[in-house]
Amino acid sequence: MNRHSIAFLALFFAPLGCKASFSSVYQPKNILAEAPHGSPYTKSQIAKAIYRGFLSKGWSLLEQTDEVIMGRLRWLEHDVTVKIPFDERSYEIIPVSISKGLRDDSKNASEELVHRRYNHWVNMLDKAIRTSLLSQRITSLPIIESEGAVVVTEQPLVLNAPVPPTSSSTSATTENTNSALSTPETAPKP
């Protein structure tokens, strides 16, 4: 290839590599499923999940009230601030400010366009919040151990319930196991 061909190809493909991809603002609104035992999540659980989402994805907490949490993410020269209004049933991630490098300021856009990186950050924050809520739900479920297996149940755990009688073979097996595990000093003498 000669110099002119290389220069032509460089001029032709250079704009393709530099063009940023913009799309409409991703603004998730999540209607939450009920917490364990059919009760809604509490505001405290939602706020804790939002806070954990911020921490896990590198966002910093700016302001918190009983119904709104604001957070900021700084990455290189970019700065994003969002507010998240919430209640027991839902939350929504709303952009407050987006740095100039992440916005498409062209005059021909009919809606606000942002760089795909902003949408990626908000999507990852949303997933982290939902994951935190799910982990709260799972850890609050009663866990019952039954014959060596662990069973997670949606039913409330009943304490002080009558315990079914054990068979005498179970106690004999326990005694045999205990004597087999005894050390020579504590082993029963024949």
Domain ranges of the chain: 19-139
What is the tens place of the pLDDT at every residue in 35-81?
656 677 889 999 999 999 999 999 999 999 999 999 999 988 889 99
Calpha distance 152→141 (Å, rounded): 7
Question: In this structure, are residues 54 and 60 in contact, taking their beta carbons and an 8 Å threshold?
Answer: yes
pLDDT score at 60: 94
pLDDT score at 185: 53
What tokens appear for 114 in the block? 């942002």
Backbone phi and psi for residue 90, each to the nearest 5 degrees, phi listed first: -160, 165
Mean predicted confidence (pLDDT) in 81-97: 93
Among 37-46, 134-143, 148-157, the range of highest mean pLDDT: 37-46
CA atoms within 13 A on the CB side of 84: 30
Query: What CATH architecture is 19-139?
Result: 2-Layer Sandwich (3.30)
What is the tens place of the pLDDT at every residue in 117-127?
989 999 999 99
pLDDT score at 14: 47
Question: Is this model's pTM higher than 0.75 or not?
Answer: no
Calpha distance 51→60 (Å, rounded): 9
CB count in 10 Å sphere of residue 162: 6
Calpha distance 35→140 (Å, rounded): 9
pLDDT score at 164: 58
- Is the predicted pLDDT of residue 150 greater than 50, yes or no? no
For residue 148, is it left (φ>0), alpha (ψ between -120 and 50) or beta? left
Question: In this structure, are residues 81 and 70 in contact, taking their beta carbons and an 8 Å threshold?
Answer: yes
Give 70 or 135, the one with higher predicted confidence: 70
Q: At what angle do helices 116-139 and 43-56 cross, to 10 degrees?
A: 130
What tokens appear for 19 in the block? 């063009």
What is the tens place of the pLDDT at every residue in 22-45?
777 888 888 777 665 667 788 999
